[in-house]
Amino acid sequence: MARKEIVSKKIADIFDLPQDLVADLFRLTLLGRGQLFVENHKGIILYDRELIRISVKGGEIVVKGQDLQVRTVYAHEIFIEGLIDNIGLEVLR
């Protein structure tokens, strides 16, 4: 683990903060099969009606489904709707 990650973890533990807030980790919130919130993203890499690729720290989130739509994109949050079949993480090494 890198020094920055160790310090971030200790700060989160001391102040009882969620690690994603301190360590720039991404967070996924799936509501049923129809809505997905992605927090702490780095941007959209690919977007079509059946596949969305989102850059996050350490890799890419891959969302597969039908009639996928990006409803909102903010600096740190993306909201996706559609019939979600699969969510995966491709880790960059």
- Whether residue 11 lies inside any domain: the answer is no
Q: Based on the structure, what is the number of domains in the chain?
A: 1
- Whether residue 48 lies inside any domain: the answer is yes
**Residues 6-58: tens digit of each pLDDT:** 666 666 567 665 565 555 789 999 999 999 999 999 999 999 999 999 999 99
- Whether residue 69 lies inside any domain: the answer is yes
Residues in the chain: 93
CATH number at residue 51: 2.60.40.2000
- Whether residue 85 lies inside any domain: the answer is yes
pTM score of the predicted model: 0.79
Helix ranges (DSSP H) in 1-93? 3-14, 19-23
